[in-house]
A and B are shown apart, each in its own frame.
Chain A
Amino acid sequence: MKTAKATTATRQRSLSALPVILLIIALATVLGFSSPYALSTQNLVNILNQQVSLILVTVGQVMVILTAGLDLSVGSVVSMTTAIVSHDLPFAVPLAIAAALAVGLVNAIGILRLGVHPILMTLSTMTAVQGIALFIRPIPGGQVPGWMTDYASAVYFGLPLPVICAAILVVIAGTVISRSRFGLHLMAVGASEESALLGGVNTGRIILIAYLMSSLFACLAGLNLAARLASGDPLVGTSFAIDSIAATALGGTQLSGGLGGVTGPVTGVLFLALLGNGLNLLNISTYYQMIIKGALLILAVSAHRRSQPGL
Chain B
Amino acid sequence: MLLEVRDITKSFGPVQALRGVSLGLKPGSVHAVLGENGAGKSTLMKIISGVFPPTSGKISIGGESVEWHNSEQARAAGVSTIFQEFILLPNLSVAENLFLGREPRSALGLIDRKRMYQESRRILEGVGLDLDPAVLTGSLRVAEQQMVEIAKGVMRDARVFVFDEPTAALGDREAQKLFELIRKLQSEGKGILYISHRLPELFELCDEVTVLKDGQFAGHFMMKDTNAEELVTTMVGRSLDQLYPPRRTDEAAGSPALELRDVVVEGLKGPVNFTLRRNEIVGLAGLEGQGQIEITRAIFEGHTLVSGEILFDGKALAHSGPSEGIGAGIGLIPEDRKVEGLFLSLSVERNISAGLLPGKSLASVAPTARADIAEQVKRLRIRLRDVKQSIRELSGGNQQKVLLARWLVRGVNLLICEEPTRGVDIGAKSEIYALLRELADSGVAVLVTSRELPELIGLCDRIIVVREGATVTEFRGEDATEEKIMAAAIHGGHG
Determine if B89 is an interface residue (Cβ-Cβ < 8 Å). Answer: yes
Bound-complex Cα distance A185 to B105 (A)? 14
Which of A1, A6, A258 meets B91, CB within 8 Å? A258
Q: Is the Cβ of B89 less than 8 Å from the Cβ of A191?
A: yes
With A200-B101, A308-B138, A309-B136 in contact, do A9 and B92 touch (Cβ < 8 Å)? yes
Central interface residue in B71, B100, B109, B111, by most chain A CB within 10 Å = B100
Q: Is the Cβ of B101 less than 8 Å from the Cβ of A310?
A: no
Bound-complex Cα distance A203 to B213 (A)? 37
User: What residue in chain B is nearest A8 (Cβ atoms)?
Assistant: B134
Query: Which residues of chain B are within 8 angstroms of A72 by Cβ–Cβ distance?
Result: none
Q: Is the Cβ of B100 less than 8 Å from the Cβ of A191?
A: no
Q: Is the Cβ of A3 less than 8 Å from the Cβ of B140?
A: yes
With A184-B103, A201-B101 in contact, do A196 and B139 touch (Cβ < 8 Å)? no
Q: Is the Cβ of A7 less than 8 Å from the Cβ of B135?
A: yes
Q: Is the Cβ of B136 less than 8 Å from the Cβ of A9?
A: yes
Q: Is the Cβ of A200 less than 8 Å from the Cβ of B100?
A: yes
Which of B88, B100, B136 meets A12, CB within 8 Å? B136
Bound-complex Cα distance A10 to B97 (A)? 13
Q: Is the Cβ of A199 less than 8 Å from the Cβ of B111?
A: no
Query: Which residues of chain A are within 8 angstroms of B71 by Cβ–Cβ distance?
Result: 198
Determine if A4 is an interface residue (Cβ-Cβ < 8 Å). Answer: yes
Q: Is the Cβ of B91 less than 8 Å from the Cβ of A191?
A: yes
Q: B138 → chain A, closest Cβ, in Å?
A: 2
Bound-complex Cα distance A11 to B113 (A)? 13
Q: Is the Cβ of A6 less than 8 Å from the Cβ of B139?
A: yes
Bound-complex Cα distance A190 to B96 (A)? 14
Query: Which residues of chain B are within 8 angstroms of A200 by Cβ–Cβ distance?
Result: 72, 75, 100-102
Q: Is the Cβ of A8 less than 8 Å from the Cβ of B132?
A: yes
Which of B91, B113, B134 meets A259, CB within 8 Å? B91
User: What residue in chain B is nearest A192 (Cβ atoms)?
Assistant: B89
Bound-complex Cα distance A1 to B110 (A)? 31
Query: Which residues of chain B are within 8 angstroms of A12 by Cβ–Cβ distance?
Result: 136
Q: Is the Cβ of B135 less than 8 Å from the Cβ of A8?
A: yes
Interface positions, chain A 172-192, Cβ under 8 Å from B, are 175, 179-181, 184-185, 187-188, 190-192
Determine if B119 is an interface residue (Cβ-Cβ < 8 Å). Answer: no
User: What residue in chain A is nearest B140 (Cβ atoms)?
Assistant: A3
Determine if A195 is an interface residue (Cβ-Cβ < 8 Å). Answer: yes
Bound-complex Cα distance A111 to B323 (A)? 38
Determine if B1 is an interface residue (Cβ-Cβ < 8 Å). Answer: no
Central interface residue in A7, A12, A181, by most chain B CB within 10 Å = A181
Q: Is the Cβ of A190 less than 8 Å from the Cβ of B91?
A: yes
Determine if A311 is an interface residue (Cβ-Cβ < 8 Å). Answer: yes
Determine if B431 is an interface residue (Cβ-Cβ < 8 Å). Answer: no
Query: Which residues of chain B are within 8 angstroms of A4 by Cβ–Cβ distance?
Result: 132
Interface positions, chain A 1-25, Cβ under 8 Å from B, are 1, 3-4, 6-12
With A175-B110, A200-B72, A201-B100 in contact, do A195 and B135 touch (Cβ < 8 Å)? no
Bound-complex Cα distance A196 to B10 (A)? 26
Query: Which residues of chain B are within 8 angstroms of A187 by Cβ–Cβ distance?
Result: 89, 91-92
Which of A1, A11, A188, A199 meets B129, CB within 8 Å? A1
Q: Is the Cβ of A8 less than 8 Å from the Cβ of B72?
A: no
Determine if B87 is an interface residue (Cβ-Cβ < 8 Å). Answer: yes
Query: Which residues of chain A are within 8 angstroms of B100 by Cβ–Cβ distance?
Result: 184-185, 188, 196, 199-201
Q: B469 → chain A, closest Cβ, in Å?
A: 20
Query: Which residues of chain B are within 8 angstroms of A1 by Cβ–Cβ distance?
Result: 129-131, 141, 144
Query: Which residues of chain B are within 8 angstroms of A8 by Cβ–Cβ distance?
Result: 93, 132, 134-136
Bound-complex Cα distance A181 to B100 (A)? 9
Bound-complex Cα distance A309 to B96 (A)? 16
Q: Is the Cβ of B91 less than 8 Å from the Cβ of A9?
A: yes
Query: Which residues of chain B are within 8 angstroms of A191 by Cβ–Cβ distance?
Result: 89-92
Central interface residue in A192, A195, A201, A259, by most chain B CB within 10 Å = A195
B75-105, CB under 8 A of A: which get 1 and which 0?
A: 1000000000011111111001100111101
Q: Is the Cβ of A310 less than 8 Å from the Cβ of B138?
A: yes
Which of B87, B91, B129, B144 meets A310, CB within 8 Å? B91
A179-223, CB under 8 A of B: which get 1 and which 0?
A: 111001101101110111011110000000000000000000000
Q: A23 → chain B, closest Cβ, in Å?
A: 24
Central interface residue in B75, B130, B131, B138, by most chain A CB within 10 Å = B138
Bound-complex Cα distance A200 to B152 (A)? 12
Determine if B137 is an interface residue (Cβ-Cβ < 8 Å). Answer: yes
Query: Which residues of chain B are within 8 angstroms of A184 by Cβ–Cβ distance?
Result: 92, 96, 100, 103, 111
User: What residue in chain A is nearest B128 (Cβ atoms)?
Assistant: A1
Which of A7, A188, A196 meets B136, CB within 8 Å? A7
Bound-complex Cα distance A259 to B135 (A)? 14
Query: Which residues of chain B are within 8 angstroms of A194 by Cβ–Cβ distance?
Result: 87
Bound-complex Cα distance A200 to B111 (A)? 16
Query: Which residues of chain A are within 8 angstroms of B144 by Cβ–Cβ distance?
Result: 1, 3
Query: Which residues of chain A are within 8 angstroms of B103 by Cβ–Cβ distance?
Result: 181, 184
Q: A209 → chain B, closest Cβ, in Å?
A: 15
Bound-complex Cα distance A3 to B111 (A)? 24
Q: Is the Cβ of A195 less than 8 Å from the Cβ of B88?
A: yes
Bound-complex Cα distance A195 to B139 (A)? 17
Bound-complex Cα distance A190 to B102 (A)? 18
Bound-complex Cα distance A10 to B111 (A)? 12
Query: Which residues of chain A are within 8 angstroms of B93 by Cβ–Cβ distance?
Result: 8-10
Bound-complex Cα distance A138 to B135 (A)? 54
Q: Is the Cβ of A180 less than 8 Å from the Cβ of B110?
A: yes
B123-164, CB under 8 A of A: which get 1 and which 0?
A: 000000111101111111100100000000000000000000
On A, residues with C-beta under 8 Å from B are 1, 3-4, 6-12, 175, 179-181, 184-185, 187-188, 190-192, 194-196, 198-201, 258-259, 308-311
A-B contact pairs, 22 of them (CB 8 A): A3-B131, A3-B135, A4-B132, A6-B136, A8-B135, A9-B92, A181-B111, A187-B91, A191-B91, A191-B92, A196-B89, A200-B72, A201-B100, A258-B91, A308-B91, A309-B90, A309-B138, A310-B137, A310-B138, A310-B139, A311-B90, A311-B138
On B, residues with C-beta under 8 Å from A are 71-72, 75, 86-93, 96-97, 100-103, 105, 109-111, 113, 129-132, 134-141, 144
| Closest 5 pairs between A and B when the two form their complex, measured CB to CB | A310-B138, A310-B90, A200-B101, A9-B93, A8-B134
Extra 16 A-B pairs, beta carbons < 8 Å, given A3-B131, A3-B132, A4-B132: A1-B144, A6-B139, A8-B136, A9-B91, A9-B137, A10-B134, A185-B101, A188-B96, A188-B100, A196-B89, A199-B97, A200-B75, A200-B100, A200-B101, A310-B138, A311-B91
